[in-house]
A = this chain, B = another copy of it.
């Protein structure tokens, strides 16, 4: 059964993009065959089922010496992201064949994990076995029950400190993190702006400032920022006394902030003055930081499992089918073409992938 060299279609980082990456130029599909006869002793071979497509990955497509945020992706190597994969060869008693695991993996058909890979994975990429009894779609473990869910949950409670009766504004509210934030906040008794569950506006049709003035004439207590730039400026203008700003991402700035060089064309926020005139707190984080993911993981799994199980939180997950469409799907996610949590369905590749009509399919 085991072939000396197995085809392994992979999504490879080929060149550093300026601005939006171009499929076929910066990100390409290549066969990176693996030798399944060289399975490490005490290791695993897994077949990727889903790879996550996340905005933060854009920040890793930078020059190798760029010093900020995360370690840049290695040029000429496959992109990596969190993935759900099935164990197809195993010499580890704790991971029998057929086990579904979640961990950080190359975006490829197959991956090999040594014992060291399994044991050394950092907290945010540690190997988790999915419950065999789960009734949830496996992609849920990359979305509401995965990193985006934990990101939303931990930062909302750690920074936002939501109180019943308060008003929260969530930008990019239909995104993987935003959709969860809005729903948790509503469960806590908050008025939610930007979330599909409550007052909504379309930022393409109405400025954030005028929408907030219309929907929250008394101002907002919490701003969950996924966008930065002008949206942050407008939200600042509407913050009430003692408000909290959760800086989760700055999607509007990702193409212009590939380094700490501020001469680039990123947006300059002018009204930070409001921070002290209103006594605001503004805090950024990454889910792997000590006060966030690690601190809240246990509570998160219990609460989100319960909320999803009870139907109190519904999450939208959408997929691109076929690894051949991976680059296109990644760029589509960055442009907001997807809905909810965007994933790449790796299985199904080689059989044409997708239905040829739309990029994302809701699952």
A7–B203 Cα gap in the complex (Å)?
Answer: 61
> Interface SS of chain A: helix, strand, loop or mixed?
loop
CB of A249 within 8 Å of the partner chain: yes
Q: CA separation between A22 and B222, bound complex, in Å?
A: 40
**Interface pair A267/B266, CB less than 8 Å apart:** no
Bound CA–CA A321/B85 (angstroms)? 78
Whether A272 lies near B247 (C-beta < 8 A) is: yes
Q: For A161, what are the chain B residues with a Cβ–Cβ distance below 8 Å?
A: none
* Residue A269 CB within 8 A of the other chain: yes
Interface residue A301 (Cβ < 8 Å from any Cβ of B)? no
Complex contact A282–B279 (CB within 8 A)? no
In the complex, besides A276-B285, A280-B284, A281-B283, 6 extra interface pairs with C-beta distance below 8 angstroms are A267-B268, A269-B270, A274-B284, A275-B284, A279-B284, A280-B283
Q: Find the B residue at minimum CB distance from A266.
A: B270
**A270: which of B59, B262, B285 is its contact (CB, 8 Å)?**
B262
Asked if A68 CB lies within 8 Å of chain B CBs, one says yes
Q: Cβ of B282 and Cβ of A286 under 8 Å apart?
A: no
Residue A76 is within 8 A (CB to CB) of chain B in the complex:
no
Assess whether A286 is in contact with B281, with CB atoms less than 8 Å apart: no
Contact B273 A253 (CB under 8 A): yes
**Structural contact, B268 and A275, CB atoms closer than 8 A:** no
User: Is B285 touching A282 in the complex (CB atoms < 8 A)?
Assistant: no
Please tell me the size bucket of the interface on A: 35 or more
Chain A residues proximal to chain B, CB less than 8 Å:
59, 68-69, 228, 232-233, 237, 242, 247-250, 253, 257, 260, 262, 264, 266-286, 289
| A271 CA / B260 CA spacing, docked (Å) | 7
Partner of A268, one of B69, B270, B283: B270
Q: Which of B59, B68, B266, B273 contacts A266 (CB 8 A)?
A: B273
Residues of chain B with a CB closer than 8 A to A228's CB:
272-273
- What's the least CB distance linking A247 to chain B, in Å? 4
Which residues of B lie under 8 Å from residue A270 when comparing CB positions? 262, 264, 266-269
Closest beta carbon of chain B to A178's beta carbon, Å: 15
Question: A237 to chain B: which residues have CB within 8 Å?
Answer: 260, 262
Given A260-B237, A283-B282, check contact A247 B276 (CB 8 Å). yes
Contact of A275 with B269 in the complex, beta carbons under 8 Å: no
Chain B residues whose CB sits within 8 angstroms of the CB of A257 once the complex forms: 271, 273
